[in-house]
Structure 1
Amino acid sequence: MMDDTTLTHRELVRYARQTSLPEVGVEGQKKLKGAKVLLVGAGGLGGPISLYLAAAGVGTLTIVDFDHIELTNLHRQIMFSADQIGQSKAQVAAKKLRAQNPDIAVNVVEERLDKSNVLKLVSEHDVIVDCTDNFATRYLINDACVIANKPCVFGSIYRFEGMVTVFNFEGGPCYRCLYPEAPPAEVAPSCAEGGVLGILPGVIGLLQATEVIKILLGTGKILKGKMLTFNALEMSFDSFEFHREEDCNACNNEDLEQWFSAQSEQEQTCSLSKSDEDIELTVKQAALLQANKKVTLVDVRSKQERQYLHIDDDYWLPLSEVNEQLDSLLNIDGAIVFYCQSGLRSKQAAQLLKAHGFKDAYSLSGGVFAWHAAA
Structure 2
Amino acid sequence: MLSRKQLQRYSRQIMLPQIGETGQERLGAAKVMIVGLGGLGSPAALYLAAAGVGELHLVDGDHVEISNLQRQVLFKTNHRGKDKAQVAAQQLTAANPEIRVQAHCRMADAAWLAGFLKEGNFDLVLDCTDNLDIRHVINRVCRDAKVPVIMASVRGFSGQLVSFDFRSAGSPCYACLFPPQDRDNDLPEAENCSTVGVIGPALGIMGSAQALEAIKLLAGLTLSSLNRLQLFEAGTLEWRTLALPVSKTCPVCV
- Structure-2-length-normalised TM-score: 0.93
Distance in structure 1 (CA, Å) of the matches to 2:7 and 2:51: 12
Q: Identify the residue that residue 43 of structure 2 maps to in structure 1.
A: 48
The letter of the residue matching 2:38 is: G
Aligned: 1:141 with 2:143? no
What is the 5 A alignment of 1:220-239?
220-239=222-241
What is the 5 A alignment of 1:141-160?
141-160=138-157
1:214–1:222 CA contact under 8 A, matched in 2: no
Q: Identify the residue that residue 104 of structure 2 maps to in structure 1.
A: 109
1:167–1:174 CA contact under 8 A, matched in 2: yes
Q: Identify the residue that residue 192 of structure 2 maps to in structure 1.
A: 190
Distance in structure 1 (CA, Å) of the matches to 2:43 and 2:223: 22
Deviation at 1:144, TM superposition (A): 0.5
Distance in structure 2 (CA, Å) of the matches to 1:239 and 1:222: 9
Distance in structure 1 (CA, Å) of the matches to 2:86 and 2:226: 32
Aligned: 1:210 with 2:212? yes
2:10–2:51 CA contact under 8 A, matched in 1: yes
Aligned: 1:38 with 2:37? no
Residues 217-226 or 93-102, more deviating: 217-226
Distance in structure 1 (CA, Å) of the matches to 2:164 and 2:134: 15
Deviation at 1:247, TM superposition (A): 2.3
Distance in structure 2 (CA, Å) of the matches to 1:116 and 1:221: 29
Q: Secondary structure at the match of 2:111?
A: coil
Q: Identify the residue that residue 178 of structure 1 maps to in structure 2.
A: 177
Distance in structure 1 (CA, Å) of the matches to 2:86 and 2:223: 34
Distance in structure 2 (CA, Å) of the matches to 1:28 and 1:55: 15
Which of the residues 236, 241, 244 maps onto 1:242? 244
The letter of the residue matching 2:95 is: Q
Distance in structure 2 (CA, Å) of the matches to 1:64 and 1:89: 9
Q: Identify the residue that residue 74 of structure 1 maps to in structure 2.
A: 69
1:227–1:240 CA contact under 8 A, matched in 2: yes
2:110–2:138 CA contact under 8 A, matched in 1: no
Q: Secondary structure at the match of 1:224?
A: coil
Q: Identify the residue that residue 303 of structure 1 maps to in structure 2.
A: none
The letter of the residue matching 2:98 is: D
The letter of the residue matching 2:89 is: A
Q: Greater Rg, structure 1 or structure 2?
A: 1
Distance in structure 1 (CA, Å) of the matches to 2:138 and 2:41: 15
Distance in structure 2 (CA, Å) of the matches to 1:231 and 1:131: 18
1:63–1:90 CA contact under 8 A, matched in 2: yes
Deviation at 1:221, TM superposition (A): 3.5
The letter of the residue matching 1:179 is: F
Which of the residues 92, 99, 116 maps onto 1:97? 92
Distance in structure 2 (CA, Å) of the matches to 1:8 and 1:228: 37
What does the per-residue CA deviation read over 1:232-258, in whole Å, with 9 as the maximum and x for residues that have no partner? 111211111111112222122xxxxxx
The letter of the residue matching 1:20 is: M
Q: Identify the residue that residue 273 of structure 1 maps to in structure 2.
A: none
Deviation at 1:189, TM superposition (A): 1.6
Distance in structure 2 (CA, Å) of the matches to 1:189 and 1:147: 27
1:247/1:225 Cα in 2 relative to 1: closer, same or farther (>3 Å)? Answer: same
1:45–1:204 CA contact under 8 A, matched in 2: yes
Q: Secondary structure at the match of 1:133?
A: coil
Q: Identify the residue that residue 316 of structure 1 maps to in structure 2.
A: none
What is the 5 A alignment of 1:1-375?
6-123=1-118, 124=120, 125-169=122-166, 170-171=168-169, 172-181=171-180, 183=183, 188-252=190-254
Q: What percentage of residue pairs aligned between the two structures are identical?
A: 39
What does the per-residue CA deviation read over 1:348-375, in whole Å, with 9 as the maximum and x for residues that have no partner? xxxxxxxxxxxxxxxxxxxxxxxxxxxx
Distance in structure 1 (CA, Å) of the matches to 2:82 and 2:175: 35
1:215–1:222 CA contact under 8 A, matched in 2: no
Distance in structure 1 (CA, Å) of the matches to 2:212 and 2:240: 17
1:145–1:168 CA contact under 8 A, matched in 2: no
Greater relative contact order, per chain length (Cα 8 Å cut-off, separation 6+): 2
Matched residue count: 246
What does the per-residue CA deviation read over 1:122-142, in whole Å, with 9 as the maximum and x for residues that have no partner? 332110000011111001100
Distance in structure 2 (CA, Å) of the matches to 1:247 and 1:206: 33
Distance in structure 1 (CA, Å) of the matches to 2:148 and 2:157: 27
